[in-house]
Structure 1
Amino acid sequence: MNDKRILYVSSEVIPYLPENEMSTMSFEAPKMVNAMGGQTRIFMPKFGNINERRHQLHEVIRLSGMNLVINDLDMPLIIKVASIPKERMQVYFIDNEDYFKRKATYSDEDGVLFEDNDERAIFFAKGVIETVKKLNWGPDIIHVNGWLSALIPLYLKNYYGNEPLFKDAKIVTTLYNQGFEGTLDQDMIKKVLFDGIEDEAVEALKNPTYEGLMKTAIQNSDAIILGEENLPEELVKCAEDKGIPILPYVAKEEFSNVYQNFYLAKVLNEEVES
């Protein structure tokens, strides 16, 4: 992985949110890349239940201050950063008072999904990409984790498709079982189409379920990783039908060399030393 640049975008990362398959691998994978001589950047939402004082988050003024247009509304983008203790890794947090200040991640205390989760996903996707542009940091691979990150591949391929910084970047999406019941706002597709994205690119968002979001990510990705066992069959079939490289589930204890070889041989089409 020497000198390879990998951008990790995840809905959840430890130690900032509780441990699960996604949050763990969103920490372990970049740690592995760093140890093998690669470069990483990690992005996640700045949910209101992340303790800023404990984790020593601070705003990056030079990256903040931009307004992102979400469904014809100007929404201020705030960027915060923190360093993971004992690791040479920084995490960038996408923040906005309207979308992320509440003291929860995806739903209220009764388990009801937030009504604006669709807009939060759009804001997060645009916020990550615009911030990477400001950093002028061109990744070789963009690795996406979690449904709140699922619009990143769509926007990279269709909204930022002519952006030179991402011209050669390959998109990898990991699938997990961490979804949600029901649907996001039924007008989600209109809000994405507002950005000038073609109708056929968002066909799966006509029914904005967890599966619909992840199908949209798969259809705009260059490779897929199965992050858990027993994933929804329709998502695995969607990836198989697209004909892109798929890495079967690998336990955390064994993933290091497997991920490295997959990144290099299957995603970047480079030779791997045996």
Structure 2
Amino acid sequence: MIKVLIAAAEAVPFAKTGGLGDVIGSLPKELIKQGVDARVIMPNYQDIPEGFKSQMVFKNHFFVQVGWRQQYCGILEFVYEGVTFYFADNEYYFKRHGFYGYGDDAERFGFFCRAVLEALDKIDFMPDIIHCHDWHTGMISVLLDAHYREKPKYKKIKTLFTIHNLKYQGVFSQDILHDILSLDWKYFTPEGVEFHKAVNFMKGGLAYADMISTVSRTYAKEIQDPYFGEELDGFLRKRQNRLVGIVNGIDYAVYNPATDKLISATYDVDTIENKKKNKMELQARLGLPVREDVPVIAIVSRLVSAKGLDLVERMFQDVVKQAAIAGKDTYDIQLVVLGTGEARYENFFKYMAWQYPGKVSANIMFDEDLAHQIYAGADMFLMPSLYEPCGIGQLIAMRYGCLPIVREIGGLRDTVRSYNQEICEGNGFTFVNYNAHEMADTINWALKTFQDKECWNKIVKNAMLSDYSWQKSAKEYKETYQKLIKQA
């Protein structure tokens, strides 16, 4: 049996800021079903709910070398839904609100990276592979090479480093090379962790991991291009033979319209007509006119530029204006927004809701219950991203028969098949260029298709039957693990 320790900074249900938490909460469950002994290690943050903390069991403790300092680390264990989670405990680093964004993040996650390696001997679990996720764990492969590789138990351990978003790299002053990581200058090179005379955690993972993966096939290609490569494209091209793209999945037990207790009426691909009950309930809850004939377009997202919201800002007011005076060549619509982010976009959607109270509902917050109700009640899901490593929203939307309108980029291109009006196939609507007019044309194309109920319901069924569960993705990860183990 393959033994894998998954190292990450967050995991649902303990800590989540984005899609990384969802992945780490779901992937190990499916790996275990497929015969992999997969376990997870993460920091023991203060903000982990007390209901979980009270069930954690003390496993062991040891001291971690952080430069010239010896720092305490306790390991707590908790088995959740069949997955063993280990929590690296140090109050100095992790007893504070939030997970990232502190001035000493280099030291906090430098400590965590070394604690992961030190823990292996103490938790009675020596993995075949350490599967590292994003910059917070990037130094694990480097530290393994520098401080542990000569130890007999560590000699055969392989590492896989997964990029969830190349934009966030963990770049810190070169002072941390010795003072925190205890690394020799030989690691501070263009082929190592050096990046504009600073230390780059992400680059460390890319340089020293035995294999690299990212969260979609298209993104794996895109990041080798300067436009998407965040100044690491040349480095990734050099390692392209060790780079694979594996699309994320979603937890089909959590996102299932047939059993979802958070929505008004459950439904499946054979009872799609029940979806309209959710639509009417959503409209009533948000103070919109309860009309089955009006298409509801949803945005459930972080309200940030990367999500393509400047395109929405540029064109959507025109679309809503048209809807407000819906005539022969225009279509009435309702827009529902849920999320928080940059003040610019929060204020834009608030203004839209004030200007068009019967057309726009701006919910500047995040509410998991409301998110489920929006996916179940909306007809379309707008996601015109500037870049998108994988994307989770479009996968959830399709699961609920809410058809995505997306730009063909990254994981959106890999998961949404554009509607073909000649044969009425596809599972959503797509456009190619990052252009507001092209997005508006695609929205109007979807609105026109919505009028043909027979064809629309067929596309909805296609979307609901698209398989983006973790089963296929976990199988690809297992195959990657097997290749790693066979490598000399």
- Compute the TM-score of the two structures, normalised by the length of structure 1: 0.82
Letter aligned with residue 67 of structure 1: F
Offset, 1:183: 4.1
Equivalence for 2:86: 92
Q: Distance in 2 between matches of 1:186 and 1:221?
A: 21
Q: Distance in 2 between matches of 1:185 and 1:99?
A: 19
User: Is the 1:21–1:227 contact (alpha carbons within 8 Å) kept by the matching residues of 2?
Assistant: no
Residue identity over aligned pairs, in percent, reads: 23
Offset, 1:32: 2.0
Offset, 1:105: 0.6
Name the SS of the counterpart of 1:26 in structure 2.
helix
- Give the paired residue count: 255
Equivalence for 2:139: 151
Alpha-carbon spacing, 1:209–1:88, altered in 2? closer, same or farther (3 Å)? farther
Correspondence 1:48 to 2:42: no
User: Is the 1:142–1:170 contact (alpha carbons within 8 Å) kept by the matching residues of 2?
Assistant: yes
Per-residue CA deviations over 1:45-104 (Å, capped at 9, x if unaligned) read: 1122212334544251x512x2223131221112222222xx211110112111110011
Alpha-carbon spacing, 1:143–1:183, altered in 2? closer, same or farther (3 Å)? closer
Equivalence for 1:72: 68
Alpha-carbon spacing, 1:179–1:240, altered in 2? closer, same or farther (3 Å)? closer
Structure 1 residues 96-175: aligned runs within 5 Å: 96-107=90-101, 114-175=102-163
Q: Distance in 1 between matches of 2:34 and 2:106?
A: 36
User: Is the 2:193–2:207 contact (alpha carbons within 8 Å) kept by the matching residues of 1?
Assistant: no
Q: Which protein has the larger Cα radius of gyration, Structure 1 or Structure 2?
A: 2
Structure 1 residues 229-268: aligned runs within 5 Å: 229=219, 231=223, 232-233=228-229, 234-242=231-239, 244-252=241-249, 253=468, 254-264=472-482, 266-268=483-485
Name the SS of the counterpart of 1:11 in structure 2.
coil
Name the SS of the counterpart of 1:78 in structure 2.
strand
Equivalence for 1:269: 486
Uncovered stretches (5+) of structure 1, i.e. residues with no partner: 108-113
Offset, 1:176: 1.6
Offset, 1:124: 0.4
Name the SS of the counterpart of 1:77 in structure 2.
strand
Name the SS of the counterpart of 2:14 in structure 1.
coil
Alpha-carbon spacing, 1:262–1:224, altered in 2? closer, same or farther (3 Å)? same
Higher RCO structure (Cα 8 Å, ≥6 apart):
1
Correspondence 1:202 to 2:199: no
Offset, 1:5: 0.5
Offset, 1:139: 1.2
Letter aligned with residue 38 of structure 1: V
Alpha-carbon spacing, 1:182–1:71, altered in 2? closer, same or farther (3 Å)? closer
Alpha-carbon spacing, 1:245–1:88, altered in 2? closer, same or farther (3 Å)? same
User: Is the 1:182–1:209 contact (alpha carbons within 8 Å) kept by the matching residues of 2?
Assistant: no
Name the SS of the counterpart of 1:41 in structure 2.
strand
Equivalence for 1:184: 172
- The one of 56, 59, 82 equivalent to 1:58 is 56
Alpha-carbon spacing, 1:180–1:221, altered in 2? closer, same or farther (3 Å)? closer
Uncovered stretches (5+) of structure 2, i.e. residues with no partner: 250-467
Offset, 1:166: 2.1
Q: Distance in 1 between matches of 2:69 and 2:184?
A: 21
Offset, 1:215: 1.1
Offset, 1:173: 0.3
